[in-house]
Amino acid sequence: MSELRPRRAWLLLLAIGILSLAAAAFLAFSPGFRLAPPTPFGETMEVELSAGTHAVYVTPSDRWGDIDCTGTVADGGEVQLRPDMTQQNLLVPEAWDAQGSFVTDTEGTTALTCDGPVEGGRFTVGPVQSLFDIGGAAAAGVLAVVLLVLGVILRVARPRPRA
């Protein structure tokens, strides 16, 4: 009677671990690559946005409480920038600090201006990165590490065929 035992389980665990690691990196870092081109403080940014929730990010933000952002959304309404305690900063490819988020009901051009007492400050608009997104990335990263370690252990500890 032959014993049914997967000989390549370690390889499957390594493959799933690598995919989980890639998913964690995507969740954690992709919002930073989907930002509008930055605009200096005091100037107006005009950006095409889809309907939904968008975030405003600033850099540097030594005095984020003194930075004021105003604007109009596609339907002519004013940007209602709201602080969100779950919104997180973006770190890749550049460090951006979360200033707040706003909702647009329709697709179209949004005009936004941010200003404050920060020399050389810039602002941009992008997707909201929330605490829950970071938690999901961390969970996927932990899963990846566990699977990779298990895969290596299975590879190293597997029984060797006898000669």
**Has this prediction a pTM greater than 0.95?**
no
CB 135 within 8 Å of CB 18: no
In total, the chain counts a number of residues equal to: 163
Query: Could you report the per-residue pLDDT of 99-115, keeping only the tens digit for each?
Result: 999 999 999 999 999 99
Please choose, from the candidates 41, 52, 10, 66, the residue with its C-alpha nearest in 3D space to the C-alpha of residue 124. 41
Q: What average pLDDT does the segment 7-30 reach?
A: 89
Q: What average pLDDT does the segment 56-62 reach?
A: 86
Of residues 160 and 51, more confidently modeled: 51
Residue 114 CA neighbour count, 13 Å, CB half: 30
The helix/strand/coil state of 130 is strand
Q: How confident is the model at residue 4 (pLDDT cuts 50, 70, 90)?
A: very low
Q: What is the DSSP string of 9-60?
A: HHHHHHHHHHHHHHHHHHHHHGGGGSPPPPEETTSEEEEEE-SEEEEEEEES
**How many Å apart are CA 124 and CA 45, to the nearest integer?**
8
